[in-house]
Homo-oligomer: A and B are copies of this chain.
């Protein structure tokens, strides 16, 4: 078939690496336009098909955005965790891994991040965390707000860990769980317990107490896991799939 007969993807990947290296070398920032196609074809001395494939790849990675229309072209963009979540999901799907895999990895990761966050979180991030705890408390009756604030709380801590790997990884894991709509339900009594746990974790982080933050987060996430195992074992057994 024609796809198989075209040049190997390796060329396009090497070109993509070169384009990223040049973005770096030029000190390009988010929003900067890259050179037009005509110039790129000359500069990199490649065919149109290869260039197109490289740019598409970088677009899928979230590193550029391709603006349509005349005068359009590639614009540098801040990547988010979407591509990471896709790669992880495909790997887990091919291993027939259940959703328990994601939940369990959060049991391992969240306490570490709470510890680092207690040591490093900025005052601004701390204010964000407090706002999340307060908003959740104010809207305990509203499941939608609850789920949003639940996600935001763990997200702020992940990025507050000062380790970008943990930050994006947790974004990706929360994306996979979210996208799944696997439906772990939170009745109001559970929501209250979660809100209280969040308040306790916040206090430990605000007090810059890494040990207390680790323990409060461990308790919280262990409780979540026990709750999910007791009430929704079938959900945790569901295989992870990319296509919902």
A residues lining the B interface (CB < 8 Å): 1-5, 9, 13, 17-18, 20-21, 24, 36-37, 48, 51-53, 55-57, 59-63, 66-69, 72-74, 78-79, 81, 83-84, 86-88, 90-95, 97, 101-102, 104-105, 108-109, 112-113, 116, 163-166, 168-169, 173, 241-243
Q: In the complex, what's the smallest C-beta–C-beta distance from A238 to chain B, in angstroms?
A: 13
How far is it, in angstroms, between the C-alpha of A37 and the C-alpha of B3 when the chains are bound?
9
How far is it, in angstroms, between the C-alpha of A81 and the C-alpha of B99 when the chains are bound?
19
Looking at the complex, which one of B4, B61, B78, B92 makes contact with A165 (CB distance below 8 Å)? B92
- On whether the beta carbons of B165 and A72 are closer than 8 Å, the reply is no
Q: In the complex, what's the smallest C-beta–C-beta distance from A15 to chain B, in angstroms?
A: 10
- On whether the beta carbons of B105 and A165 are closer than 8 Å, the reply is yes
Copy tally for this chain in the complex stands at 2
Label chain A's interface by main secondary structure.
Answer: helix
Looking at the complex, which one of B48, B86, B101, B163 makes contact with A61 (CB distance below 8 Å)? B86
- Which of A63, A68, A78, A90 has the largest number of chain B CB atoms within 10 A? A90
- On whether the beta carbons of B163 and A4 are closer than 8 Å, the reply is no
Q: In the complex, what's the smallest C-beta–C-beta distance from A10 to chain B, in angstroms?
A: 10
